[in-house]
Amino acid sequence: MSAPLRLGAVIITMGNRPDELKALLDSVARQDGPPVDVVVVGQGVQVTGLPEGVRSIDLPENLGIPGGRNVGIEAFGPGGSDVDVLLFLDDDGLLERTDTAELCRQAFAEDPALGIVSFRIADPETGRTQRRHVPRLRASDPMRSSRVTTFLGGANAVRTTVFEQVGALPGEFFYAHEETDLAWRALDAGWLIDYRSDMVLLHPTTAPSRHAVYHRMVARNRVWLARRNLPAPLVPVYLGVWLLLTLVRRPSAPALKAWFGGFREGWTTPCGPRRPMRWRTVWRLTRLGRPPVI
């Protein structure tokens, strides 16, 4: 029998949720099978009071979500190569079951083409999963597992070979859409992404707009995402669709002003290297139910 896959976990924190972080670390420690090696990255804060065996990295400043996670990846060797799979977990989340790590090992061991697994996020009080937390267009049934085209940033597992092949998360994004950027690159390289309803992270129901920078960065990064990854003919189609969707949702005047400011910024600032996906990948995304124009 082959040895079980080696798992690591990356958790980023701003130090403002010590009780929730402790509960999350306890839930990781309770996982069945070999222990999961954990690294906690402090975003401009010093992390203290961690259980024995949990490593910490204290950054002098907040690098944003993808930047902080990239630091955590490198704590497991270049591209995370010291382990086979890395879990990324929000610091105010909690693994509901003790077999989640074993389910991850089983999923990646049974399917060599599987690159990323997206967990289901459920509210700890109601058990409900928000529609936005189901990474597909047909999201009415969160209990249905399926193959998908993106994943949830704070509740997922990534085979570290993916990072070796396609690179890390786009640190310049800071917040929003960094998962889809990595997902598109992974899919273009031939990897598969699964949404698993049986791998659950408990997390309080929240609205993404709680972040002050939400509207600007969502718009800016949407443009960057298209400029970096889409074939040239699809860039205006994709961004045109999202412009219409934004207007249909009728955001407040300040939110719309911030959104258009971010949209403009996305066109006028560097977005990182451009590596447009192949048309074969466009067709693959379409067959999976989410063509890269929405």
Alpha carbons 114 and 93: distance in angstroms, whole number: 24
Q: Residue range 236-254: average pLDDT?
A: 95
Torsion of CA 127, 131, 133, 135, to 10 degrees: 130
pLDDT of 2 higher than 90? no
Residue in 259, 132, 138, 278 with CA at minimum distance from that of residue 205: 132
- Residue count of the chain: 294
How far lies 83's CA from each of 29, 74, 78, 163, 231, in Å? 17, 11, 10, 12, 34
Residue 233 is which amino acid?
P
Given this model, what pLDDT does residue 201 score?
98
Q: Residue range 236-240: average pLDDT?
A: 98
Q: The whole model's pTM is what?
A: 0.96
How far lies 267's CA from each of 224, 228, 260, 270, in Å? 8, 11, 11, 8
pLDDT in tens, 68-89: 999 999 999 999 999 999 999 9
Given this model, what pLDDT does residue 209 score?
57
What values do phi and psi take at 180, rounded to 5?
A: -65, -35
pLDDT in tens, 181-209: 999 999 999 999 999 999 999 999 877 75
Answer for the pair 172, 129: CB distance below 8 angstroms, yes or no. Answer: no
Q: Which residues pair with 118 in a beta bridge?
A: 156, 195
Residue owning tokens 């890390």: 168
All residues at 6 or more sequence positions from 27 whose CB lies less than 8 Å from its CB, including other chains? 94, 95, 96
Given this model, what pLDDT does residue 207 score?
74
Given this model, what pLDDT does residue 1 score?
60
Residue in 53, 61, 47 with CA at minimum distance from that of residue 9: 53
pLDDT in tens, 105-142: 999 999 999 999 999 999 999 999 999 999 999 899 99
pLDDT in tens, 142-184: 999 999 999 999 999 999 999 999 999 999 999 999 999 999 9
Residue 39 is which amino acid?
V
Residue in 81, 92, 153 with CA at minimum distance from that of residue 117: 153
pLDDT in tens, 11-67: 999 999 999 999 999 999 999 999 999 999 999 999 999 999 999 999 999 999 999
Residue that wins the pLDDT comparison between 56 and 2: 56
Q: Residue range 93-115: average pLDDT?
A: 98
Answer for the pair 98, 203: CB distance below 8 angstroms, yes or no. Answer: no
Q: Which two tokens stand for residue 203?
A: 């997390």
